[in-house]
Structure 1
Amino acid sequence: MNKSEIGLNAGKVWQLLSDYAKWSYGALKRKSGLKDKELGAAIGWLAREDKIVLSQEEDELYISLGVNVYIG
């Protein structure tokens, strides 16, 4: 796995999250077809860019798009 692949996988995850719903890690994994390592790297990429919100509810991790509003 290299940066290019991680970026492409982040794009797949971004597309799935574009419905603005809160997705469980398991649902994202099933729908994206990515392996744990690939999905984890993609989520990390999006988190580092401050594009997503992560929340833990009981034993499940949920991911959704973050809303960034910049007033310049």
Structure 2
Amino acid sequence: MKQDIPSAEIVGLISGKIWSSLHKNGKSSITKLKTGIPCRASFLYFALGWLLREDKIIFIKADGQLFVQLK
């Protein structure tokens, strides 16, 4: 089974969309990000990893749900 692998450019663009969304709206659930940013879920996770590695976001668990917010 062939899987599509995103380029660094695509992951960077998705990271920018995530950052913009969090900057505008504040803390967000992963579920809300997945519905608000049109891309494959796996690409979204790559982009979240990118932002985490760049020390731009933190993850928070509350009420059994995972949230992300800007640092």
* TM-score class normalised by the smaller sequence: 0.7 to 0.9
TM-score by length of 2: 0.84
Return the offset for 1:19.
2.1
TM-score by length of 1: 0.83
Query: Percent identity among equivalent residues?
Result: 33
Could you tell me which runs of 5 or more consecutive residues in structure 2 were left unpaired when the two chains were aligned.
1-5
Pairing of 1:47-66 with structure 2 (within 5 A): 47-66=52-71
**Following TM superposition, where does structure 1 have runs of at least 4 consecutive aligned residues deviating by more than 2 angstroms?**
none
Q: What's the secondary structure of 1:10's corresponding residue?
A: helix
Q: How many angstroms apart in 2 are the aligned matches of 1:47 and 1:61? A: 14
Aligned CA RMSD, in angstroms, stands at 1.2
Q: Across the two proteins, how many residue pairs are aligned to each other?
A: 66
